[in-house]
Amino acid sequence: GSTGIVINRPMPGNLLKIATETPSNVDLSLKLAFNTATVSYGGPIMQEEYSVLHGYGEVEGSKKVAPGVFVGGSEELMNEVRRDNFSPDQALFVKGHAAWVPGQLSREVAKGVWYPASVSADFILRYAGAQVTEDDNLEDLWSDIMSCMGGKYREIMRKHAGRGDMRMMS
């Protein structure tokens, strides 16, 4: 099977608020160190589990998932926050994840449910303090990515644009 995380569904509030008000595996010291960090709805599976995405670099407990993007290493990152070497605003905590049985994801891609894309760290870390420009759509990461893909993807984006990243969170 396959697993993945949603990165374009920022939740209202920050890590301290969300991980305190809902069941979570986040300990108090991590909540306090990353109290201003953004949280994204990651998917419906294991909602009490949180992962952290960041661009700080490889630290103990982290894994590189794309150029300039790492997952994990929250304990070491917490130490860097305490040393003022890393800002909590440069971390994106993801609540839960998505999962597919073997073959399911490829079938859904073939049906046009998902559109695989290779994107830069600036897109992946949009809600973790990545640099944005005046041309970026700060309200709709999906539209930004689809637009950059061009061609038929830009047309699909235009057909479904305007809903924004907060569409599932209200």
pLDDT tens track for 91-112: 999 999 999 999 999 999 999 9
Tell me: pLDDT of 2 over 80: yes
* Token digits of residue 68: 């300039």
Collect contacts of 66-72 with beta carbons under 8 A, ≥24 apart: 66/121, 66/124, 67/121, 68/120, 68/121, 68/125, 69/121, 69/124, 69/125
Question: How would residue 167 be classed by pLDDT, with cut points 50, 70 and 90?
Answer: low
pTM, rounded to two decimals: 0.90
Tell me: pLDDT of 170 over 70: no
Q: In the predicted model, what is the mean pLDDT of residues 18-30?
A: 94
Q: In the predicted model, what is the mean pLDDT of residues 7-11?
A: 93
For 47-71, the pLDDT digits (tens) are 999 999 999 998 999 999 999 999 9
Tell me: pLDDT of 26 over 90: yes
Tell me: pLDDT of 7 over 60: yes
What is d(CA 60, CA 35) in angstroms, rounded to the nearest whole number?
A: 21
